[in-house]
């Protein structure tokens, strides 16, 4: 499975990690719904930490879409709302 | 199971297949990026044209990112110049404080140190901004290298697909590569936006600091802005002590036994002699006031 951390690039994560990452991702989704910034930041840090721990950087010339796209470590809830809000806000 | 929270979150609905109350954020974001890419492909009559068009866009973005790196570097250098300027002001105030203490003027020394601490706070702020810019610059450099590799990889893939497949076949062949590069471009585009926002904010602030440095007002950041009054007082102190030194030197040069006392202290009444003389000279005009002009 390929995971992107926005601003940092893509990592290849072994498929056996998928269940664990999905659970952390669901927790992150719930944190976003709750609108609780502290909860969001700790859920994001947990997921980013896990991805970095088990993932290996994908080669620069790889051309593969990601199954998970994570906000960068400095993102806050407003950044996430911007990303979710309108597709038009995502450039490219 | 598709519990709608808001219009903007509607993308998560098709993801809610595992029964969790809320789909993960990372999954939702991934779908948004993919949807964006597939829209672009679907729009084209011949997907092979999409490849060329996308490649042009990739090259444009690459140029933009490289310009972005240069812009951030320029802002960073400007900050460095300002930090040097503030450091010089701060050193000057430190010297002034030392001189003031040497001259026994604790009040002046205190004033200089107070202003210096104001400058130090400004410098701390600039240092934090500098660290931020430095980080943005590094991120953009890395992003531009990564994008450059992917663009080259895409070019090769695109040529192969164009040479080997019909329009209909190409559609299925380019899917992944196109989604991959599209996602990268979106990511880099976001990084560019963030860097532009940061440099714009910094440029506004550093413009204000440039003005302050140019007007010299920073030297009086905590004072009334009358120019460098500490230096003026120190100069005054310096020149009066110079006068004392010169005097002492002159006295030392006088030959022994010379009438030094007359120079040092004129005879009592010598100063009073002048007005006495003038009243003696003009006894006929007793009514003249000191302020009136002489006829």
Tens of pLDDT, residue by residue over B17-32, are 444 456 899 999 999 9
pLDDT (tens digit per residue) in A68-79 = 999 999 999 999
pLDDT in the model for residue B145:
95
Q: How far is CA B177 from each of CA A14, B142, B156, B168, B285, rounded to the nearest angstrom? A: 21, 21, 11, 16, 113
Give the one of B20, B29, B188 whose C-beta lies nearest to A26's C-beta. B20
Q: What confidence tier does B9 reach under pLDDT thresholds 50, 70, 90?
A: very low
pLDDT in the model for residue B227:
55
- Cβ neighbours of A87 in B, within 8 Å: 32, 35-36
The predicted model gives B173-179 an average pLDDT of: 85
Q: What confidence tier does B280 reach under pLDDT thresholds 50, 70, 90?
A: very low
The predicted model gives B237-261 an average pLDDT of: 69
pLDDT tops 60 at residue B47: yes
Place of tokens 């602030």: B205
Residue B26 has which token pair? 């990372």
Give the one of A4, A63, A66 whose C-beta lies nearest to B181's C-beta. A63
- Cβ neighbours of A9 in B, within 8 Å: 142, 146
Burial class (CB in 10 A: 0-12, 13-18, 19+), B233: middle
> Which segment of A38-42, B68-72, B79-83, B259-263 scores lowest on mean pLDDT?
B259-263
pLDDT tops 60 at residue B86: yes
pLDDT (tens digit per residue) in B148-165 = 999 999 999 999 988 888
Give the one of A59, A66, A86 whose C-beta lies nearest to B30's C-beta. A66
pLDDT in the model for residue B259:
52
Which residues 37-56 on chain B approach chain A with CB closer than 8 angstroms?
Answer: 37
pLDDT tops 80 at residue B5: no
Q: How far is CA B249 from each of CA A44, B108, B243, B246, B254, rounded to the nearest angstrom? A: 77, 28, 10, 5, 9
pLDDT in the model for residue A88:
52
- Cβ neighbours of B151 in A, within 8 Å: none
List strands edge to edge, sheet with A56-57: A56-57, A9-12, A2-5, A68-70
A4 neighbors A66 (Cβ within 8 angstroms):
yes
DSSP states along B174-190: HHHHHHHHHHHHHHHHH
Compute the count of residue pairs across chains A and B with CB atoms less than 8 Å apart.
137
* CA quadruple A27, A69, A89, B11: dihedral sign: negative
- Cβ neighbours of B139 in A, within 8 Å: 7
Q: What confidence tier does B291 reach under pLDDT thresholds 50, 70, 90?
A: very low
Phi, psi of A5 (to 5 degrees): -105, 115
pLDDT (tens digit per residue) in B220-240 = 444 444 457 788 888 787 777
pLDDT (tens digit per residue) in A16-46 = 999 999 999 999 999 999 999 999 999 999 9
Nearest-Cα distance to chain A for B32, in Å, is 7
């Amino acid at each position: 499975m390929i995971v992107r951390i926005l601003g940092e690039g893509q990592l290849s994560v072994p498929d056996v990690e998928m269940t664990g990452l999905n659970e952390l991702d669901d927790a992150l989704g719930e944190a976003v719904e709750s609108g609780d910034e502290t909860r969001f930041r700790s859920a994001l840090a947990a997921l980013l930490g896990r991805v970095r721990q088990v993932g290996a950087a994908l080669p620069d010339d790889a051309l593969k879409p990601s199954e998970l796209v994570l906000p960068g470590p400095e993102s806050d809830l407003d950044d996430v709302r911007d990303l979710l809000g309108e597709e038009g806000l995502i450039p490219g | 199971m598709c519990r709608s929270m808001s219009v903007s979150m509607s993308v998560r609905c098709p993801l809610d297949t595992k029964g969790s109350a809320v789909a993960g954020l990372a999954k939702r974001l991934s779908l948004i990026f993919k949807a964006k890419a597939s829209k672009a492909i679907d729009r084209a009559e011949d997907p092979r044209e999409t490849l060329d068009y996308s490649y042009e866009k990739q090259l444009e973005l690459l140029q933009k990112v490289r310009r972005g790196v240069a812009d951030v570097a320029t802002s960073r250098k400007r900050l460095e110049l300002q930090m040097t300027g503030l450091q010089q002001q701060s050193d000057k105030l430190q010297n002034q404080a030392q001189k003031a203490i040497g001259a026994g003027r604790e009040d002046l020394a205190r004033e200089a140190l107070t202003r210096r601490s104001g400058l130090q706070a400004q410098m701390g702020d600039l240092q934090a901004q500098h660290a931020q810019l430095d980080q943005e610059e590094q991120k953009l450099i890395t992003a531009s290298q990564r994008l450059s590799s992917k663009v080259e990889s895409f070019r090769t893939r695109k040529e192969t697909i164009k040479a080997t497949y019909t329009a209909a076949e190409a559609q299925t062949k380019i899917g992944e590569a196109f989604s991959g590069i599209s996602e990268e471009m979106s990511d880099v585009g976001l990084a560019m936006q963030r860097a532009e926002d940061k440099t714009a904010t910094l440029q506004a602030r550093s413009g204000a600091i440039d003005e302050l440095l140019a007007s010299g007002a920073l030297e009086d950041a905590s004072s009334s802005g009358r120019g460098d009054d500490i230096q003026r007082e120190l100069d005054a102190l310096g020149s009066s002590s110079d006068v004392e030194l010169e005097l002492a030197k002159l006295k030392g040069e006088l030959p022994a036994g010379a009438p030094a006392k007359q120079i040092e202290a004129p005879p009592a009444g010598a100063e009073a002699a002048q007005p006495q003389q003038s009243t003696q000279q003009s006894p006929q005009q007793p009514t003249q006031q000191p302020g009136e002009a002489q006829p």
